[in-house]
Chain A
């Protein structure tokens, strides 16, 4: 157990639907990062939050959004789902932000299947 908790572990949903993935960071960590891993694209950085505020953005689609709550847990919302959104979604956390901060702790991921 890495200390980063992601729920649910598996999710199957239909095209056009909306889902929410949840991440609880390791105790004391303020930064949360979301990654998408598709079969053909490797690990893609989506977005980072630090202490409730968006810090960095990657290749995140407009149909996707995220937030970090006061208790530091984060949610990734995926809407108008397409077959191509089927992927593993990983959350990682780290104590802070900025330099010297790349020793992330990853969760075990949520496997999303869109049918």
Chain B
């Protein structure tokens, strides 16, 4: 899997947008960026994925830079329930498995 780099932790005020960055400078042209989150000891939850266009769903938006070397996950109006560890993953083209790194611990405060 392409190596990803994420900040260890971030804080965000409730109701504000949470912007979680991820660097993946070694990404190949056909590799997707996936985002998952894990709320304390629960099973990880799929959030969103993208290749090169920006993506949006009911949970979040994903902004991928034009050179694809970095991306940002945006939670538009963070709530306390969004407190979790967020993982940015770039699976290798020829692999069937997701490899989780250490992620970013997002703390949403009132």
The residues of A with any CB-CB pair to B shorter than 8 Å are 2, 4, 31, 33, 35, 42-43, 45, 48, 50, 55-56, 58, 88, 90, 92, 97-109, 111
Contact = CB atoms under 8 A, between A and B. Distances in A.
Interface of B: 32, 34, 38, 41-46, 49, 89, 91, 93, 95-102
Contacts of A48: 96-97
A42 B102 contact: yes
A106 B44 contact: yes
B97 A105 contact: no
Contacts, number: 57
A33 B49 CA distance: 19
Nearest to B90: A102
B44 A90 contact: yes
Contacts of B34: 102-103
B84 to A, nearest CB: 13
A107 B43 CA distance: 6
